[in-house]
Amino acid sequence: MIEIKKANLEDLITIQKISIESFTETFSEINTPENMEKYVQENFNTAQLTLEINNPDSPFYIAFCDNEPVGYLKLNLGNAQTETIKDETIEIQRIYVLKAFHGKKLGQLLLDQALKVAKENAVDYIWLGVWEENLRAIQFYTKNGFVTFDKHIFILGNDQQTDLLMKLPIKTKS
């Protein structure tokens, strides 16, 4: 059984574990160990994740499969967004699912949770950045109706990489 629950600070270790494992599984084959280590240390340390989890404009949602935490979603609203796009948007900063659970629709369920929050907040659209070489993720977002609208530089360790910025209009009830 799959369940999605809103996270809080008590879930810090779970979020940290999923972050490190998922990020490493996804990107270590095509990045240097030094850049991977630097990124993980800077972005998934206890102090950084505590700040993120405590930010009321950055809700986290953890996906559980048979009571085992296997992925999570991090959203950014308002000033928590990593890019200034416009006020009526929500950013999906992370959808992380452990590799052993790929293909089990967890990413889709987490995206559905993001869309639910977007509709509740009556935003114009939801957006995200995805590495231009992460073809699996780009295909997933495209299948769900996202379109590329811009690019930005993402720093992984000492490496500058290009992220595609993708967005999906949100249809709210009038």
- Strand ranges in 42-87 using DSSP code E only, listed in sequence order: 60-65, 68-77
Helix, strand, coil percentages, rounded to 5, for the chain: 40, 35, 25
Q: What is the rounded distance in angstroms from the CA atom of residue 104 to the CA atom of residue 110?
A: 12
Encoded amino acid at 148, one letter: T
- Buried-exposed string 1-15: b where 16+ CB fall within 10 A, e elsewhere: eeebeebeeebbeeb
Q: Is 141 a catalytic residue?
A: yes
DSSP 122: T
Marked catalytic residue, from 61, 72, 96, 141: 141
What single-letter DSSP state applies at residue 59? -
Among candidate residues 122, 118, 140, 133, the one with its CA nearest the CA of residue 164: 133
Q: Which residues are designated catalytic?
A: 141
